[in-house]
Amino acid sequence: MTSSRLPHYLTAGALGLALVLSSCGSQDTTDQDAAQDEATIPGPTVQVSEDDADTADEESPQPAEDQQDADQQGEEAAEDDDEAAATQWPASNTTTMAAESTISEPVISPKSIVSNDHGLAIANNMMYQNTVTLYDTEAQELVQELSDRVSPGALGASGYPESVVGAPVEAVWTEDGQYAYVSQYRLEDMGAGAYDDCRNGDAVAPSAVYRYSVADQDWDQFIEVGRVPKFVELTPDGSRLLVSNWCDHDLSVVDTETGEEINRVPVNSQPRGIAALPDNRTVFVAAMYANELYRLDLETGEQEVIYNQAEFPRHLSLSPDAKTLYVTFAHSDLLVAFDTETNEVIRTASTGREPRSMDISADGTALYVVNYFEDTVSKFDAETFEEIERLPTGHLPIGVTYDPVTASVWVANYSGTISIYDDHSNTR
């Protein structure tokens, strides 16, 4: 770990939790890789030392009623901050983006980047750097560089070597912005090699999801899942972590209270994107290589394919009211909106070449889609599907996130940079 400071991202929605705690005590990929979701990008290895010290202070007991009041105040503060973040800026479909800055240090190969909506963003640097990097979204500065080498035994998992190295792929934050779950493509030197074509079958070892704690500035959970886990999502109530196991063709359902897998839901080949509805049981999953979009019921196990008319469904996003599901189809250069009640297609739009990830603005009026083989990011009106603009990015844009604290858009370029765009200063 190379940084020890915690900046302003412990304000806003995270302030409630912080108050409770304080009161208690170069690298290119060619078009032939289009058939694979993960591009192979060889690069230098960055040696990052592990953090040996636990930075969390020991907490003293607090009466139960006082603790409940403090927790409620923290939750109310987080809700107020979320509403403020969504309304302090102009409507996102009325603005245009402006390139603001580029981050290229430390050495990174970001597969994805995700804002915690409270002033912090996490980038996941795969097996090419074996790190995650965290950034202050207001200062646009590195907060922490953290190795993905962990001790499973110290985190409660048995049967592993003293330490293992993962390969961070995707992340999802808890609503309060205090924890990030990060999928690990593989655990190094365990089982046969992991590849996107799953060529080594059952010889590939199951992998894990690590949980990152903002307060500890370290990993605090090791969660066992399936082979080659990719996307991660939380149910809206935070009780379940959902993980798409790429080479097991299924979905892990994890109890977040215990950190243990409680169920597997089969789908089809190479599942990736996930979106969970507010009922905390209805889930959409993209089976990417099967060209199928699934609707699942976590309680009954029932499932159905609701769409199979386009190639490589990859990323899923929901509107803030959860009435509309947005899906990118990477090999069809297509963006599709579905009615989440009827499963019917509402509208479609053409994208740039090979749309990968996307995100939606806090007010739900704009979608941001990265076009991997075009080195661009597109902004769409979420209601009309008008493409508002298309701007150049770094090479191989693959991840994107909207940060409501700054009304900025962050793009992870697999070739080794993060592009940042102002999306509130210019109205159209």
Question: Cβ of 332: how many Cβ atoms within 10 Å?
Answer: 19
Give the per-residue pLDDT at 84. Answer: 54
| Edge-to-edge order in the sheet of strand 303-307 | 271-276, 282-287, 292-297, 303-307
Do residues 237 and 256 make contact, with C-beta atoms less than 8 angstroms apart? no
Name which residue leads in pLDDT, 176 or 85: 176
Q: Is 136 helix (H, G, I), strand (E, B) or coil?
A: strand
Q: What's the predicted TM-score (pTM) here?
A: 0.84
Q: Which of 201, 243, 196 is nearest to 29 (CA)?
A: 196
Give me the sign of the Cα torsion angle 181, 186, 188, 191.
positive
- pLDDT of residue 11 exceeding 50, the answer is no
Q: Say if 87 falls within a structural domain.
A: no
Give me the sign of the Cα torsion angle 99, 335, 372, 251.
positive
Q: Is 310 helix (H, G, I), strand (E, B) or coil?
A: coil
- pLDDT of residue 75 exceeding 80, the answer is no
Do residues 246 and 229 make contact, with C-beta atoms less than 8 angstroms apart? yes
% of the chain exceeding 90 in pLDDT: 79
Q: Directed axis angle between helix 64-87 and helix 15-24, to 10°?
A: 160
Give the per-residue pLDDT at 6. Answer: 46
Give the per-residue pLDDT at 73. Answer: 54
- pLDDT tens digits, one per residue of 57-71: 222 233 344 444 544
- pLDDT tens digits, one per residue of 356-382: 999 999 999 999 999 999 999 999 999
Give the per-residue pLDDT at 77. Answer: 53
Burial of 153: CB neighbours in 10 Å, binned 0-12, 13-18, 19+: middle
DSSP class of 319: -
Q: What is the chain's length?
A: 428
What CATH number is attached to the domain comprising 368?
2.130.10.10
Kindly state the average pLDDT of the residues 95-118: 97
- pLDDT of residue 427 exceeding 80, the answer is yes
Kindly state the average pLDDT of the residues 402-425: 98
- pLDDT tens digits, one per residue of 393-410: 999 999 999 999 999 999
Q: d(Cα 227, Cα 116) in Å, to the nearest integer?
A: 27
Give the per-residue pLDDT at 81. Answer: 53
Question: Cβ of 21: how many Cβ atoms within 10 Å?
Answer: 17
149, two tokens = 């080498």
Question: Residue 59: beta bridge partners?
Answer: none
Q: d(Cα 21, Cα 28) in Å, to the nearest integer?
A: 45
Kindly state the average pLDDT of the residues 33-46: 41
Give me the sign of the Cα torsion angle 155, 160, 163, 167.
negative
Q: Say if 53 falls within a structural domain.
A: no
Give the per-residue pLDDT at 13. Answer: 39
- pLDDT tens digits, one per residue of 287-327: 999 999 999 999 999 999 999 999 999 999 999 999 999 99
Q: Say if 107 falls within a structural domain.
A: yes
Question: Cβ of 311: how many Cβ atoms within 10 Å?
Answer: 15
Give the per-residue pLDDT at 61. Answer: 32
DSSP class of 311: S
Q: How far is CA 98 from the centre of its chain?
A: 24
Give the per-residue pLDDT at 4. Answer: 37
Do residues 328 and 353 make contact, with C-beta atoms less than 8 angstroms apart? no
Give the per-residue pLDDT at 302. Answer: 94
Do residues 120 and 401 make contact, with C-beta atoms less than 8 angstroms apart? no
Lowest mean per-residue pLDDT among 31-45, 139-153, 222-236, 252-266: 31-45
Give the per-residue pLDDT at 125. Answer: 97
Kindly state the average pLDDT of the residues 70-76: 52
Please state whether beta strands 168-173 and 179-184 pair in parallel, antiparallel, or not at all (unpaired): antiparallel
Residues 6+ apart with CB under 8 A from 50: 1, 147, 149
Q: Which of 427, 421, 335, 426 is nearest to 386 (CA)?
A: 335
Name which residue leads in pLDDT, 153 or 3: 153
Q: Which of 383, 370, 374 is nearest to 97 (CA)?
A: 370
Do residues 254 and 243 make contact, with C-beta atoms less than 8 angstroms apart? yes
- pLDDT of residue 203 exceeding 60, the answer is yes
Q: Say if 60 falls within a structural domain.
A: no
Name which residue leads in pLDDT, 240 or 20: 240
Question: Residue 245: beta bridge partners?
Answer: 229, 250
Do residues 386 and 335 make contact, with C-beta atoms less than 8 angstroms apart? no
Q: d(Cα 132, Cα 167) in Å, to the nearest integer?
A: 9
Kindly state the average pLDDT of the residues 37-60: 34
Give the per-residue pLDDT at 55. Answer: 27
Mean pLDDT, the chain, as a whole number? Answer: 86
H helices present in 51-147, as ranges: 64-87, 126-129
Give the per-residue pLDDT at 374. Answer: 98
Give the per-residue pLDDT at 292. Answer: 98
Q: Say if 413 falls within a structural domain.
A: yes
Q: Say if 366 falls within a structural domain.
A: yes
Question: Residue 218: beta bridge partners?
Answer: 213
Q: Say if 352 falls within a structural domain.
A: yes
Q: d(Cα 361, Cα 403) in Å, to the nearest integer?
A: 8
**Residue 121 is part of which domain span?**
96-427
As for how many domains the chain has, the answer is 1
- pLDDT tens digits, one per residue of 164-196: 999 999 999 999 999 999 999 999 999 999 999
Q: Which amino acid does the sequence have at 154? A: A
- Work out the pLDDT band at 126, boundaries 50, 70, 90: very high
- pLDDT of residue 99 exceeding 50, the answer is yes
Q: Say if 383 falls within a structural domain.
A: yes
Give the per-residue pLDDT at 57. Answer: 29
Give the per-residue pLDDT at 158. Answer: 95
